[in-house]
Structure 1
Amino acid sequence: MTIAAGTDDQRQRAWSWLIACLAVLAAQILGQHLMGRLWICECGYVKFWEGVVNSSGNSQHIADWYTPSHIIHGFLFYGLGHLLMRGRPLSARLLLATVVESAWEIAENTPMVINRYRSATISLDYFGDSILNSTMDTLAMAAGFLIASRLPVALTVAIATVLELFTGWIIRDNLTLNVLMLVWPLDVVKAWQAGV
């Protein structure tokens, strides 16, 4: 996405869409603040990377093992925007992706979804995201969206596959398993994820 390309009117519209994306992100942050989410980890400091999945720092810092899932969200939302909004500016499609991701980030941090994670998955110690982590998840989605807009489809699919397989191997969880276990929990998958 090149803001400098196109006519003055096209550039102005692109900036308007991008400002709308920032407004959605600000609404996400405000919504989570009003929900009582913590700004940063309860530990009182910020780390760039939290590599221990079953820890109180998971989903609290800038990035963790679930960041690749949010990049893949961006890949998927780019494809969805391409199908639903063909002919619309890339920045307008990014706004759609940001709205969907922000809505998920708010829903994911409600007591109902947090309790679902804790009862249906191996995330027994999950108490929701910090506002920082949730914001970074949305920005990771936007990065994935923009990456998908520049890469060939086959390469985007290959990257998503590698990310899914790698995180599945390292932490026994990934976007596919996360969705499966939230929607239709399987005891055999839960046992495998727990290392039983």
Structure 2
Amino acid sequence: MRHRLWPLLGLLLILAAAVAELAMGREPWCRCGTVRLWIGTVNSPENSQQLADWYTPSHIVHGLVFYAALAFAAPRLSLGARAVVALAVEAAWEITENTPWIIDRYRAATIALDYYGDSVLNSVSDMLAMLLGFWLAARLPVWASVLLALGLEALALAVIRDNLTLNVLMLLWPLQAVRDWQAGA
């Protein structure tokens, strides 16, 4: 496939995910009626509704991880093809993450008791954040990508007591001790 078609395919994937989420009944943007670049309060009805929040770094880490995994698993694919595969995985996650099953799982297994899913705007931003991480990983030396991923995880952990690692852990194998710590207990 011509290298110029990869960005078009990526755009179509993002649009398809957005349309799927709208068809699922997701809000296009924050119910508050305001679009903000950043919402820094996790326990806010605007969290996961605006362009970026404290979970945006985890999507950058997705991109770093997807780049590494695809460089290992499919080294013969072009960079554009690997980016589209990574975007397809991210889009599938964004759709899945906003199903009642996962939303209910977040509420039951984590401290996100008031979580009701992402706005479509936030999901699209999350996909773009993943692409940023992928792009960075393609340009940085491996050690810098690893340090960036660890730094983003440590930053989110320090500020909001959550990050990608804890998010995955708590979805797959919830631990009451982690939940208590996250709640400040």
> Do Structure 1 and Structure 2 share a fold, with TM-score over 0.5?
yes
Per the TM alignment, residue 134 of structure 1 is displaced from its structure 2 partner at its CA by 0.4
Q: What residue ranges of structure 2 are gaps of 5+ in the alignment?
A: none
Residue type at the aligned position of 1:159: L
Give the 5 Å matches for 1:31-180.
31-180=20-169
Unmatched 5+ residue regions in structure 1? 1-11
SS of residue matched to 1:13:
coil
Q: Secondary structure at the match of 1:63?
A: coil
Secondary structure (helix, strand or coil) at the match of 1:48 reads: coil
With structure 2 as the length reference, what TM-score do the two structures score? 0.98
- What SS does structure 1 have at the residue aligned with 2:3? helix
2:4: which partner in 1?
15
Partner Cα distance (1:127, 1:85) in 2: 36
Task: Write the letter of the residue equivalent to 1:98.
Answer: L
Describe the SS at the equivalent of 2:27: coil
Q: Deviations over 1:42-72 (max 9, x none)?
A: 0011010000001100000000000000000
**Alignment deviations for residues 92-119 of structure 1 (CA, whole Å, 9 cap, x no partner):** 0000000000000000000000000000
Q: Percent identity?
A: 52
TM score, norm. by length of structure 1:
0.93
CA–CA separation in structure 1 for the residues paired with 2:11 and 2:34:
25
Offset at 1:87? 2.1
Counterpart residue identity of residue 103, structure 2: I
